[in-house]
Amino acid sequence: MNLRGILATGLVLLWMASLTRHASGNETFENSLRMKLVRIQAGTFGMGSPPNEPGRRPDETLHRVKITRNYDLGQFEVTRGQFRTFVEATGYLTESERNKSGGYGVKLPGYILDGLDPKYSWRSTGFEQTDRHPVVNVSWNDATAFCEWLSKKKLAVYRLPTEAEWEYACRAGSTSTYPFGESREQLVRFGNVVDADAHAVFPDRIALKESDGHILTAPVGSYQANAWGLHDMQGNVWEWCSDWFAPHGAEDQVDPRGPAEPQSAGRAIKGGDWYHDWSFARPAQRFPIPPALVRRHAGFRVVRELPQ
């Protein structure tokens, strides 16, 4: 066996040694950045929503999607600590830091939404964020730069999930409005959305009746995982996907990756967040956001492609 073969065998053995099995039955892997990923098995699902789903948008046309390859998806949203490791290793400045426009924050006390302002960035949001909180105030371009760095560091392909990969993993085999069923009030167990406590400080927001324990961002993994062992797929922060945004069609699709050229001004973003209500946390929910834009409630998680 030549040197290339020996190295490849060593990498495979190291990979196998670091695999564990989640209670859901899905294998999990932890890389040297302590990022945990969950093995998602290929399959077919209904993407989008039926016409009678509460909170539905007209661009969510229900259609059949086939995912043909297994992939690993971040068990959690990328944290501020993990993003800091990237910044310290590369000297990277986020777009809003480079152009000095800054990001968005929250003034405390009072929970006053504030920005754009150079004093806000992924480093500082005006509210408490530890290294276990999801990174925010990062653009699609910033998230992609993180993935490119991680790919070179790990000698593997890391990237943002496609919208189909994200929704397939979020649904985790379910066909209901939410992965856990139809009751929106159960969201307090699974995600950080506008709840009774948040409604007290954001009275214009539509809220759940119960409390999920957090008004602003929550440390990743604070809520119950879905059936495939993924946390925070509902709420906490919106998550960037790789696709350019376009309305769904009704035709069947195989491994869709969105339009080759932009049909709108934005990339797809999914999952809902701490500032929006239950309808935004549906797996089918989707929005276009310009790739250079930052938000106080938007972050990302990563996909690791598996060798064919």
How far apart are the two ends of the chain, measured CA to CA in Å?
A: 21
Query: How are beta strands 267-270 and 287-289 bridged, if at all?
Result: antiparallel
* CATH number, domain 39-305: 3.90.1580.10
Q: What are phi and psi of 13, to 5 degrees?
A: -65, -40
Q: What is the pLDDT of residues 147-173, one digit of tens each?
A: 999 999 999 999 999 999 999 999 999
Q: Where are the domains of the chain?
A: 39-305
CA dist 193 and 107 (Å) reads 19
- pLDDT tier at 8, thresholds 50, 70, 90: very low
Q: Is 145 helix (H, G, I), strand (E, B) or coil?
A: helix
Q: What is the pLDDT of residues 236-246, one digit of tens each?
A: 999 999 999 99
DSSP 189-225: HH-B-S-HHHHHHSTTS---SS--S-SS---TT-S--
Joined together, the tokens standing for residue 184 give 């929106």
* pTM of this structure: 0.92
